[in-house]
Amino acid sequence: MKLSILDQSPISEGSTGADALRNSIDLARLADGLGYTRYWLAEHHGTPMLACASPEVLIAAIGAATRRMRLGSGGVMLPHYSPLKVAETFSILAALYPDRVDLGIGRAPGTDHSTAFALQRDRRQAAPDDFPQQLAELLAYLENRMPPNHPFARLAALPGRPHVPDVWLLGSSPQSALWAADNGLPYAFADFINPEGAEYAALYRERFRPSETLREPRMIAAGFAVCALTDEDAQRIASSARMTRALLNQGRLIPVPPIEKALQFLAERGPNADSAARPRRAIIGSPATVRKGIEHLAALYGADEVMILTNTFEHEARRRSYELIAEAFELDGHRSAQPSDRIEVAS
């Protein structure tokens, strides 16, 4: 099984967004040595908890700091942007790091309605809900199949050619599964948002139409996991993420809290403090526990690759979690890497 990382660049209480961005580069260097397959950066706006509002900028920085693993967006929220601008940006990244760049595309705003409106260039009215048309235009640029008589045909001569990124469609709903299938795209499903996606994975495979870039369906299951030496330690470390999720369910956004603060919060509110209308799956425990959970997740989706999201208060705990998972799965590189030697990134 292939293992990959989804990084949201979490901001811990008492630290800054700049700290979080430097931590992302540090974690990517570690992951590159441990043998993870790919490293994707998420896009979020207007939140005190997550620092990465521009995945393409971090991809460029991480590409310069790593050598082997694939890099990508998890994802670029296409409704905010011009398809041409996204195509040009990622063609440049693909040229800088040949055969290493993924362009994960999502439809969700990655923020609240007010911030999404602030991101619009034209604010005279709400942006149109035309994601399928945006996606079609983006693919036409990247795959160089814009009709010759189209007014934008010449723009398919992207600056990074002959290099282009691999395009993935991201989602957590049946509609995203259909879009991925109809366009012959690989599909990454966010189980950490919606743990009921197994039926959507089956729908994707059933409806898949081969394309010039992909002949058979291909899927990643993305899940939340925290690993420590014991189940008890892992649950303790994961309390910070549980508190942020509990408050997010109430519409409150906070930096990732310290463990003791999170434990007190959860104790005061009882065992269901972070429950929601739609429960979310979390794989938390020792290396053996987490390996079993990840294998179960892969089996549910029929995926040969799992992408792991881990948010903790202490950056060292997040590093250690990915180290232990790499060891549990015996990833190539986990023995030769020296994860205890943290790489400092200049501030």
Amino acid 124: pLDDT: 79
Amino acid 240: pLDDT: 97
pLDDT above 90 for 109: no
Residue 141: Cβ within 10 Å count: 23
Helix axes 315-328, 287-301, angle to 10 degrees: 70
pLDDT above 90 for 270: no
Residue-wise pLDDT for 125-138, tens only, equals 877 788 999 999 99
Amino acid 335: pLDDT: 61
pLDDT above 70 for 299: yes
Please compute the mean of the pLDDT values over residues 336-347 and round it to a whole number.
46
Amino acid 95: pLDDT: 98
Q: Would the CA dihedral through 319, 241, 5, 11 be positive or negative? A: negative
**What CATH architecture applies to the domain 2-328?**
Alpha-Beta Barrel (3.20)
> DSSP string covering 236-296, please?
HHHHHHHHHHHHHTTT---PBPPHHHHHHHHHHH-TTTT--SS----EEESHHHHHHHHHH
Please compute the mean of the pLDDT values over residues 308-317 and round it to a whole number.
98
Please compute the mean of the pLDDT values over residues 131-149 and round it to a whole number.
94
pLDDT above 60 for 339: no
Q: Fill in the DSSP letter of residue 78.
A: G
